[in-house]
Chains A and B, each alone.
Chain A
Amino acid sequence: MHAGLEHYLTVSALLFCLGLFGVISRRNLLVIYMSLELMLNAANLAFVALSRFTNNIDGQVMVFFIITVAAAEVAVGLALIVALYRKKQSAHVEDLTSMKL
């Protein structure tokens, strides 16, 4: 069976939804972080697939940007998590309610 654009996009959407579900449902910050990466990669997949099927290189350029930004984000994010853990002795989202007024 030949794989068409819709197949790639479906996989991308599924990955995105899985990531989102992880972000919403998991309690551990690190796991949430990993789910976020999954969402980013779902987007990457969609970009690459569209780039391939429309013969337009722009999508692939965007993927490189996303990978770069994701790497930077991981660095900042993990640093924040470590800082939070040091302050609160916990990496669970339930304990992070200081945004409530």
Chain B
Amino acid sequence: MGKETLAWLILFLPLAAAGTIALFTRKHPTVSVRLSICAVLASFVLTWAFAGAWNEAGRFSAAAEWISVGNFNIEMGITIDRLSWIMLLIVTGVGSAIHIYSYGYMKEDPAFSRFFASLSLFTFSMLGIVLANNFLQMFVFWELVGLSSYLLIGFWYGKASAADAAKKAFLTNRIGDFGFLLGMIAIWTAVGTVNFEEVRNAITANKGIFGTAASAIGFLIFMGAMGKSAQFPLHVWLPDAMEGPTPVSALIHAATMVAAGVYMLCRVFFIYGANPAWPEWLGVLDGISALQIIAWIGGITALLAALIAVQQNDIKRILAYSTLSQLGYMVMAVGLTGTDAAMYHLGTHAFFKALLFLGAGSVIHAMHHEQDIWTMGALKDKTPLTFWTFLIGTLALAGAPPFAGFYSKDAILAVAFEHAPFSLFPLAVIVAVLTTFYMTRLMLITFFGKERSDAAHHAHESPGVMTGPLVFLAILTVIGGFLGLGNIVNAETEHHAGSWISEAFAPFSHAPMAALSGIAAMLFGAFLAFGLYWNAERDPLPEMARTLSRGMRNRFYFDEFYETLIAGSQGALAKLADMVDRYLIAGLLVRGSSGFVEIGGRALRLVQSGNLQTYTFMLALGVALVLLIVFRTGL
């Protein structure tokens, strides 16, 4: 088997598993789950076969012709380079852990097979995005990811909230995807191809190739990322997506799918190399590049989500907002041209956020599907393995050295310090404080203090099939940082990387300001949280900062705002359409034309008297009229 076949196998094995389950083994859950897990594990193993398999140009590629119309050719292609390889590892690696975990978590669900079919379909779609070598292929898989996310969020479709959340996610994503599609068409119009390499070369050859559309294209493509990576103002779907099963939240809404937006931005980052320019009618935006917009949207998302997370009480929602906030970090880094830092954080975040979600799932499992943290407490001794792995995840997310999160967050802070030391850098540090604050709050309330309910009293540790993946991810989280995950992302530093000890202390020598303020932010946030929540019975914050707390708790009223805005505008539009339909189309056109014919018919009926001589008279009159016209016009 050639290497190309292997590459195709990575992509299509999960699809084969999904297809087989859907068609043949739906009645046999154990077969289904084995198929699904084997497929993703095989993809994971095959991915390792491509370590360093790229050529001098840094790429391994395979392609087959897909659509060919006239001179418009689209390939179904595979590109494996550093970027996509690391993403492959994340998707298949974290994916494998979560598949195995789901075996335990979903065991009692009657639709077990359907769950794994959807999961495999998702893995396939995600791998398609990662491996795509052109915009159109990426877009197709992009939509497939949206579909599988819809299927999985709405997995318990009998529950109205889950079905609604699935719809919300799908529709919100649609807005972003529309922008992506427009951007893609604009690129095709300007360059005549949608292949990544060809577009990159075209831009390198002529930086003005997009003309005045350059910044608009950049922004439209970013809109796709805005939807998938849930950036402000399209962030509202992600917290609701927590209605899906917890492994789904971990895989899709923390580790992989939401990272697809960031990955896509890194993949097509070359389009931001074109000379920025806005069309004339958008002259007010002159001087603001698409990248600046991206950076600020990322920053705003990070801050907003971190603030909201502080006052949430549902364990999964806290993590969801934390995901939003970390995605904001990554997008901000992309906007500040720090794609390496963004990908680095994406990788480590995938590990520790999947770990946290699976830990949360384990807690929820132990608590018999109770998600409110104020009913928990003192779970530290009841679920020790979950506690320790959760603690590792929390430390990583908070950015404590030497956990992976510290290094990647530091990389982003360093980028922010370098490019925007007085605007986005302080904002990023504030977000870091908030991150530690809400995570410490979560830890203290969930695992320490007193048992706040019977369920907490009777909690028990989850089975090995669930804790195994937790430990696996925890190990990755611990060593991911100084094993140099960042170096795989960045080609230049790989060759002069020192020993792992010097790697471990690299942040302090490389950008001491960023590293020190990161640690200071973490300590300050933890200090605040300990002061407020150590042995707390109730949340003290609502009494201390009434308005702010209420705003945070209600997610700053974004959902209400959208509801008013969309329901209002949609209602007005519907009313208008109804009026047009009722009065213009049904009234004037349909009933009008039929009425006209009917009245005409009634009038003409009077003429038909039955009198022979009237007919004759009219005949003569008609002939006379015709003759008159003929003679007058000389026809």
Residues of A near B620 (CB, < 8 A) are: 20, 24
| Interchain CB contact (< 8 A) of A96 among B608, B612, B616 | B612
CA distance A101 to B609 in the complex (A): 9
Q: Would you call B610 and A99 a contact (CB within 8 A)?
A: yes
B611 A97 Cβ-Cβ under 8 A? yes
CB–CB B613/A24 < 8 A: yes
Contact of B616 among A23, A94, A97, A101 (CB under 8 A): A23
Q: Counting CB contacts under 8 A, is B561 at the interface?
A: no
* Complex: A31 Cα to B283 Cα, angstroms: 91
Closest to B609 in A: A100
Contacts of A101 in B (CB 8 A): 608, 610
Shortest beta-carbon distance from A96 to chain B in Å: 6
CB interface residues, B 603-627, toward A, < 8 Å: 608-613, 616-617, 620
User: Do residues A93 and B611 form an inter-chain contact, with CB atoms below 8 A?
Assistant: yes
B613: which A residues are within 8 A, CB to CB?
A: 23-25, 93
Check A98 for interface membership: any CB of B closer than 8 A.
yes
Interface residues on A, range: 10 to 19
- Distance of B164 from chain A, by nearest CB (Å): 62
Chain A residue contacts of B617, Cβ below 8 A: 24
Closest Cβ–Cβ distance, residue B606 to chain A (whole Å):
11
Could you tell me the dominant secondary structure of chain B's interface residues?
helix
How many angstroms between the C-alpha atoms of A96 and B614 in the bound complex? 12
Give the chain B neighbours of A25 by CB distance below 8 A. 613
Would you call B616 and A24 a contact (CB within 8 A)? yes
Q: How many B residues face the partner with a CB closer than 8 A?
A: 9
Least Cβ distance of A77 to chain B in Å?
A: 13
Binary contact readout A85-101 vs B (1 if CB under 8 angstroms, 0 otherwise): 00000000110111111
Nearest A-chain residue to B623, judged by Cβ: A20
Q: Which of A23, A24, A101 has the most CB of B within 10 A?
A: A24
Contacting residues, chain B, for A23 (C-beta < 8 A) = 613, 616
Nearest-CB distance from A4 to chain B (Å)? 20
Min CB distance B453 to A, Å, is: 87
- How many angstroms between the C-alpha atoms of A94 and B612 in the bound complex? 8
Chain A residues near B616 (CB-CB < 8 A)? 20, 23-24
Residues of A within 8 A of B609 (CB): 97, 100
Chain A residues with Cβ under 8 A from B611's Cβ? 93-94, 97
- Expressed in whole angstroms, the minimum distance between the Cβ of B624 and any Cβ of chain A is 10
Bound Cα distance from A93 to B612, whole angstroms: 7
Least CB distance, B607 to chain A, in whole angstroms: 11
Which residues of B lie under 8 Å from residue A97 when comparing CB positions?
A: 609-611
* B-chain residues with CB within 8 Å of residue A99 when the two chains form the complex: 610, 612
B437 shortest CB reach to chain A, Å: 91
- Determine the distance from Cα of A49 to Cα of B165 in the docked complex, in whole angstroms: 95
A interface with B by C-beta (< 8 Å): 20, 23-25, 93-94, 96-101
Q: Can you list 20 residue pairs at the A/B interface with Cβ under 8 Å?
A: A20-B616, A20-B620, A23-B613, A23-B616, A24-B613, A24-B617, A24-B620, A25-B613, A93-B611, A93-B613, A96-B612, A97-B609, A97-B611, A98-B610, A99-B610, A99-B612, A100-B608, A100-B610, A101-B608, A101-B610
Q: B interface vs A, CB < 8 Å?
A: 608-613, 616-617, 620
Give the 9 A-B CB pairs with smallest separation, nearest first.
A100-B610, A97-B610, A24-B617, A99-B610, A93-B612, A24-B613, A24-B616, A20-B620, A23-B616
Query: Given known contacts A24-B620, A93-B613, A97-B610, what 19 new A-B pairs fall within 8 Å (CB)?
Result: A20-B616, A20-B620, A23-B613, A24-B613, A24-B616, A24-B617, A25-B613, A93-B611, A93-B612, A94-B611, A97-B609, A97-B611, A98-B610, A99-B610, A100-B608, A100-B609, A100-B610, A101-B608, A101-B610
